[in-house]
Structure 1
Amino acid sequence: MSLLAHYDALLLDLDGTVWEGGRAIDGAVEAISAAGVPAIYVTNNAMRGPDAVAEKLRAIGLNVATHDVLTSAQAAIEMAAEFLEPGDKVYVIGTDSFRNLTTEAGFQVVDSADEQPKAVLQGLNPDLGWRELSEAALSVRGGAKYLVSNLDTTLPSERGLLVGNGSMVAAVISATGVQPSSAGKPGPAMFHAAASKLGSHSPLAVGDRLDTDIQGGNAAGMATFQVLTGVSGQLALIEAPKEQRPTFIAESLADLRLTRNELAPGSQGGFTARIDGSDILLERGTDESTSIQALRTVLEVAWAFPKPVNLIRPMSEAAQRAVDNWW
């Protein structure tokens, strides 16, 4: 029985999971289209509004409406609304879409700390510079509540990992000593909101990043599905703390067709794994054994061990082939 027979919705991350820099990851569109359950796209990327994100998803072949997208910019504005009044002044570091969403929510977007904003909202903007960060720092030092869309330090792209919002936020933290509240993943709020929008009782949270997608889904009490097409690789999984360990491990979204047993940590592909001191010995395997089967085999042992393992030691030709490209 396919994994998806056990879940009634997909909560899908975008960057590194569905696409890289707007280019569909191989097999992603086909897997989502064939899933047979509704999907909502839950993204920490605040650069585009939900309408623009939906349009880009349609451009790669997915049937997506604006209400099928939940961005961290939307979540940050909802967080701000808990303590702001309509018409309150807000300084926004972000793209025009973030500023427009803030205005549509009933707040007054200002351009200077001199206007004494009651809140600073910060999301990723590739054109962000010293002036904007300085105005944010002055606003926060002046008493403005500091809220950010997310704290991802990197952003996956087809060229590699780019600077993420969290890296920009670090500059304001350094200048003010103030830690912001983050609306996005790994907090559970976005996951609960996404499931509620779909009326889902048993959603599957899907993503590529352990410290946001998986940790957030786990915090929300949901089953989590990790793909190896983005930020977090095999070695990060082996070293993952308990709160960042996914329920299922996959090479890509194409593996949604597999069964629970195939996707969960456990001995697979003829491999066995055991502890030797502080190392894990990966043994046996066959000519048909795959790298992901070796990984799931190792994870069952690594996650049961009470302290971090030191080395993964391949003890056969099949094991060596399987781990050669781990990162």
Structure 2
Amino acid sequence: MSLIEQHDALLLDLDGTVWEGGRAIEGAVDFINSCGLPSIYVTNNASRAPENVAEKLAAIGLKANASDVLTSAQAAVTLAGEHIEPGAKVLVIGADSFRDLVRNAGYTVVSSADDQPAAVLQGFDPEVGWAQLTEGALALRQGAVYIASNLDSSLPTERGLAVGNGSLVAAVQSATGIEPVSAGKPEPAMFVQAAHLIGSQRPLVVGDRLNTDIAGGNAAAMNTFHVLTGVSHEMELIEADTEHRPNFIGESLAEMARGANEVRPGAQGGFTARVDGKDVLVDNGNPNATSVQALRTVLEVAWSMPQPPRYIQPVSEKAESVIRGWR
């Protein structure tokens, strides 16, 4: 039985998993459309309305509408309801679509700290600058509740890792000494909400970032599948603590069509791994074995160690050839 057949829905991250800066990652669209499972797209990017995200998904060939999208901006608005009264004034640092969500939830959107907002909600928008950040900082010093859509320090784009919402939040936090409550991943509530929206009992969380996608899925007690197409690569996996370790690892989404035992950590591809002091030695390997098979072999051993290994040492020529590209 394939990994896909063991689950009833996919909770898919977007940036680094399905696309990079809106450009589809190779093979992702074909797999999602053909896998036979319903999907909901769970994204920490708060810069677009769900309707706009759905339009972009449709533009790359995916069948999606607004109800298939859950953004961290939506999660932040839901979280705000636990901290402020209905109809309260809210200062939003972020995109116009974020302000629309706040307004549609019945709150009064303001733009100045002079309006005495009850809360400051901050989400990513490429147009955020000094003026918005300053109004937020002034409002927080006056006692407003601070809620961030997410704390991702970086954002994958087609040009590389750009500044993310967490880095902009850090500027406000540095100026005020006030730490925000975060609504998005890795908080488990966002995944629980997504599973509820799609009516899933056995969801599989899929993402590229260990400290958000995988940590959040694990915290929600859901199975997690990590793809190597985005932020977190081999060495981060090897050094990951328990909370950040995925159940399954693949080079791409298509590997979810394999059996669960093929994509979970364990010896495969003819590789062997063993502990030698503080290092892990990797030996053997079939002629057609792949880098990700070596990685899964190493992870089973590395994750059994009390501390991350100092070095991953290839012994065979095959191990050397595949490990050379790890980062």
TM-score (norm 1): 0.99
Distance 1:78 1:40 in 2: 18
Question: Which residue number corresponds to residue 311 of structure 2?
Answer: 311
The answer as to whether partners of 1:31 and 1:256 remain within 8 angstroms in 2 is: no
Q: Following the alignment from structure 2 to structure 1, what is the Cα–Cα distance between the partners of residues 226 and 72?
A: 20
Runs of 5+ unmatched residues, structure 1: none
Deviation at 1:83, TM superposition (A): 2.7
Deviates more, 1:224-233 or 1:74-83: 74-83
* Mapping of residues 1-327 of structure 1, within 5 Å: 1-327=1-327
Deviation for aligned residue 1:248: 0.1
Question: Quick check: 1:155–1:162 contact (8 Å CA) kept in 2?
Answer: yes
Check whether the contact 1:225–1:246 (CA below 8 A) recurs between aligned residues: yes
> Aligned AA for 1:6?
Q
TM-superposed CA distance for 1:256, in Å, is 1.4
Post-superposition shift, 1:35?
Answer: 1.3
SS of the aligned residue for 2:303 comes to: helix
Taking the aligned partners of 1:254 and 1:21, their CA distance within structure 2 comes to: 20
Q: Distance in 2 between matches of 1:87 and 1:297?
A: 55
Which deviations, in whole Å up to 9, do the C-alpha atoms of 1:159-215 show, x marking residues without a partner? 000000000000011011111000000000000000011111110000000000000
Paired AA for residue 248 in structure 2: F
Please give the secondary structure, in 2, of the residue aligned with 1:304.
coil
How far did 1:275 drift? 0.2
Deviations along 1:264-321, one digit per CA (max 9) or x if unpaired, are: 0000100000000000000001221110000000000000111111000000110011
CA RMSD of aligned residues (A): 0.6
Residue 263 of structure 2 aligns with an amino acid whose one-letter code is L
Deviations 1:71-103 (A, max 9, x none): 000000000012322321100001110011111
Deviates more, 1:282-291 or 1:186-195: 282-291
8 Å CA contact retained: 1:88, 1:108:
yes
Structure 2: which 5+ runs fail to align? none
Contact 1:10 1:37 in 2 (8 A): yes
Q: Which amino acid letter does the alignment assign opposite residue 202 of structure 2?
A: S
In the TM superposition, what whole-angstrom CA distance separates every residue of 1:121-172 from its partner, at most 9, and x where no partner exists?
A: 0000111111111110000000000000000000001100000000000001
What is the SS of the residue equivalent to 1:294? helix
- The whole-number CA distance in structure 1 between the counterparts of 2:234 and 2:161 is 17
Matched AA of 2:150: N
**Structure 2: distance between partners of 1:289 and 1:158:** 29
Identity %: 63
Amino acid at match of 1:82: E
How much does 1:37 deviate? 1.1
SS in 2 for 1:103: helix
Range moving further from structure 2, 291-300 or 29-38: 29-38
CA distance in 1, matches of 2:171, 2:157: 22
CA distance in structure 2 between the partners assigned to 1:188 and 1:284 by the alignment: 40
Amino acid at match of 1:209: R
Distance in 2 separating the partners of 1:257 and 1:26: 16
* 1:258 partner amino acid: R
- Show structure 1 runs of 4+ deviating over 4 A: none
